[in-house]
Amino acid sequence: MLWTTSTSSQHRYLDKHSSNGEIIKHKFYSLSYLESHEQAEWVTYYLYPDFLKGNAFRKNNFRPDLKIQSKSADSRDYAKSGYDRGHLVPAGDMIYSTESMSESFLYSNIAPQRPSFNRGIWKNLESRVREWGKSFEIIVVTGGLLNDGNLEKIGPNNVSVPKEFFKIIYAPKENEMIGFILPNQKVLDGIWNYVMTVDEIEEITCIDFFIELDENIESSLEAKFDIKKWQ
């Protein structure tokens, strides 16, 4: 279970997903780490209004994740690579405390992102997710698409560069899910052009999300989305 002060305790165990990697549980998020790609295939965390009332400052203390048994990527992999050290759990979502902010800078939470993507449409989507988190409790799942056999590699640890990234948002009280897959490149149109059902993202990623949800509820939520409710 992830750390949470949320009062909706009935939703605290809905953050589990199928995994092809090593499951790592940090205090403020969990992840599945793929050594073959030197990054997480997914990270998952809770976001809700009280959590986003913090005021921790960004410190940029990037460092290896010592919990990874096979060792994680490190700063050498990104140096002069031309790629940003893109957060999967955004630093902006971890302002609750100095500890939560610091956890977001572990290299297990980082993936190579093109600067125009990381500082463009990806940033826009992250901001939108925070707006939802300020309004109601959500569970967020994020990762790069790593099941492509022809991914660029960077650094001495051969970190894979995803061609696309996904993000899934589940609002348990609102009984709504929505997902996105965005290309790791400069994008000029808006996030709503990249909406997908969770079912579609599961088919592409070969990951089964929210495996502890009641099967009937899971099937219903993952098969559809209602853009009007999220807009």
At 90, which amino acid appears? P
Burial of 178 (0-12, 13-18, 19+ CB in 10 A): buried
**Tokens at residue 72, please?**
């994680």
Q: How far apart are CA 203 and CA 209, in angstroms?
A: 11
CB of 6 closer than 8 Å to CB of 138: no
At 227, which amino acid appears? I
**Reduced to 3 states, what is the DSSP secondary structure of residue 182?**
strand
- Annotated active-site residue 26? The verdict is no
CB of 92 closer than 8 Å to CB of 130: yes
Question: For residue 189, how far is the Cα from the chain centroid?
Answer: 21
**Tokens at residue 157, please?**
């640890």
Q: How far apart are CA 223 and CA 219, in angstroms?
A: 6
Active site residue: 11, 17, 37, 87, which one? 87
Other CB atoms within a 10 A radius of the CB of residue 216 amount to 8
Catalytic residue numbers read: 87
